Structure 1
Amino acid sequence: MYKIILADDEKWVRIVLRKAVEQTKLPVTIVQECANGLEALDAVQKHAADLVISDVKMPIMDGIGLAEQMALMTANLVLVSGYDDFQFAQKAIRYGVKDYLLKPVEMEAMADCLERWIQGRELLKEAMGDANASLQTEKAEMSAIEQVQQFVAANLAKEITLTDAAALVHLNPSYLSQLFKQQTGGKFVDYVIVMRMEEAKRLLIKTALRVSEIAERLGYGDIAYFSNTFKKLTGCSPLEYRKSGGKP
């Protein structure tokens, strides 16, 4: 049920409005009646109301002042006036007022207004739900890629396959391949090679290990293949890289 606040300084008008709202049989409930805009503002916060139906002319705070105060709230506002005042309507639209009804407000007009408003709220909820679901999916996908990257870093000396990585994060290998490229900008197999070569750079500069030992540590049984791969990515051989101090 959507929560509604009624605001009008005349009690009999509030009675008419209440009757019109209740006769619509829509999923709404009136949680409070107020005599001015200031009371309505307090009521919105007190009841976490969804909609205020308010007269334009009221003491202390009128409908336009209420509209201005509610402009940044999640609750919406429908204004009611005893005459068709275009200037009021313009100001109301400027502050995001959802509708503008003329007195006397008949049940049909109220029903039409509330139906449009409810439809808009439902669409907004659906959109927000889709956005939240999309955000959660995006976060899950980012976590999956981070897990895969950690898996690669911890297994550089072993044979690392896309199938093994996909099993780790419970994804289809084909889907993981597409997701990995989308998140990192490159293919999984190329990422593994780059990470191995980055580790090779570190070992060449930070340790006295022979090139063959480094190749073996990174899962390369063929030193020539390792050296060719290293040169292809860095522009120099492993020994040249070591001699240059990491500045080929």
Structure 2
Amino acid sequence: MSSILLVDDERWVRTALRKVIERCGQPCRIVRECANGQEALEWLANHEADVVMTDVRMPVMDGIALVQALRERANPPEVVMISGYDDFPYLQFALRAQVADYLLKPVEVEDMSRCLGSILDRLAKTKGNDTEPPTTAGTRLPAWGVLPEEMTESPIRQAVRYIDAALPGDVSLQEVAAQVHLNPSYLSQLFKQQMNMNFIDYVLEQRMARAKQLLAQTSMRISEIAERVGYSDLAYFSNAYKRVTGMTPTEYRRRCGSSSP
């Protein structure tokens, strides 16, 4: 049974990947989990793994630096890069580094099974060969430049900035995910984890915050404010406003001392 070293800084992602690997039915098992590239290298100093499955973005040492370090080993393991970023520079690096595969989060069972099946077939052929397999030890990967600035910034910060700029217009999870180069499902999970609320709830709160500002600082009709923050139905807007703030738009305006024409 082939061994896998799983490297990702988020425990819940490692747990999810472990379950996917278990479900894919391939003869392999996770022998170690690490939170970053440095931790992985320290473990590999005294242990072996057939496959290193690593996230791209991690603290201390990211997946790119880890791959560089692994390529300097005498017998480097097969490497699978896993990322929430569907972006060409990351894929370009993976191709130049000759990694075994590049998977997008959340990883589906079918994709994992295909990936591991291909790797295990290759490992079996290598082990069955009487000749010494070629080594990539000491081979530096080609220089490919620095990651674009927008990819070094927190994806959630990018998402929030995009939402704030897009409001009061319509903004969807799929649209934001495309802007920050993340899979929509992964962005949804990441957003809830880091913002402590769902994507939809955040968008709703931001709409209501703008509505509160207009109610308190202008004499616009409530129907006009509803349209300004993206609601064509006044009753729907009023219900949503009360659900978020605990009072109707009229009650809030009265409390602020403004008069509605």
Normalization by structure 1: what TM-score?
0.50
| Structure ranking higher on relative contact order (CA contacts 8 Å, 6+ apart) | 2
- Matched position secondary structure for 1:65: helix
AA matched with 1:46: N
How far did 1:97 drift?
1.2
Matched residues in 1 for 2:39 and 2:66: separation? Answer: 10
User: In the alignment, is residue 119 of structure 1 matched against residue 93 of structure 2?
Assistant: no
Matched residues in 2 for 1:95 and 1:28: separation? Answer: 23
What does residue 211 of structure 2 align with?
none
Matched residues in 2 for 1:70 and 1:60: separation? Answer: 16
How far did 1:96 drift?
2.3
What does residue 81 of structure 2 align with?
79
Any residues of structure 2 matched to 1:31-46 within 5 Å, and which? 31-46=31-46
Q: Which has the higher helix share?
A: 1
Q: Are the counterparts in 2 of residues 38 and 61 from structure 1 also a CA contact under 8 Å?
A: yes
Matched residues in 1 for 2:112 and 2:104: separation? Answer: 10
Any residues of structure 2 matched to 1:205-224 within 5 Å, and which? none
- Matched position secondary structure for 1:47: coil
What does residue 52 of structure 1 align with?
52
How far did 1:90 drift?
1.2
AA matched with 2:22: E
AA matched with 1:77: V
How far did 1:38 drift?
0.8
What does residue 107 of structure 1 align with?
109
Normalization by structure 2: what TM-score?
0.48
Identity rate, percent:
47
* Residues 71-80 or 27-36, more deviating: 71-80
AA matched with 1:84: D
How far did 1:93 drift?
2.0
Matched residues in 2 for 1:45 and 1:120: separation? Answer: 24
How far did 1:22 drift?
1.0
User: In the alignment, is residue 24 of structure 1 matched against residue 24 of structure 2?
Assistant: yes
AA matched with 2:122: G
Count of aligned positions = 130
- Matched position secondary structure for 2:17: helix
How far did 1:98 drift?
1.0
How far did 1:83 drift?
2.1
Q: Are the counterparts in 2 of residues 5 and 43 from structure 1 also a CA contact under 8 Å?
A: no
User: In the alignment, is residue 90 of structure 1 matched against residue 92 of structure 2?
Assistant: yes
Q: Are the counterparts in 2 of residues 7 and 36 from structure 1 also a CA contact under 8 Å?
A: yes
AA matched with 1:123: K
What does residue 10 of structure 1 align with?
10
- Matched position secondary structure for 2:45: helix
Matched residues in 2 for 1:42 and 1:106: separation? Answer: 30
Q: 1:46 to 1:29 in 2, by over 3 A?
A: farther
Q: Are the counterparts in 2 of residues 3 and 31 from structure 1 also a CA contact under 8 Å?
A: yes
AA matched with 1:48: E
Matched residues in 2 for 1:86 and 1:67: separation? Answer: 17
AA matched with 1:88: Y
What does residue 63 of structure 2 align with?
63
- Matched position secondary structure for 1:59: coil
AA matched with 1:62: D
How far did 1:44 drift?
2.5
Matched residues in 2 for 1:69 and 1:123: separation? Answer: 25
Matched residues in 2 for 1:103 and 1:114: separation? Answer: 16
Matched residues in 1 for 2:80 and 2:46: separation? Answer: 19
Matched residues in 2 for 1:107 and 1:45: separation? Answer: 31
What does residue 208 of structure 2 align with?
none
Greater C-alpha Rg: 1
Matched residues in 1 for 2:105 and 2:63: separation? Answer: 14
How far did 1:46 drift?
2.8
Q: Structure 2: give runs of 5+ residues left out of the alignment.
A: 133-261
Matched residues in 2 for 1:30 and 1:44: separation? Answer: 14
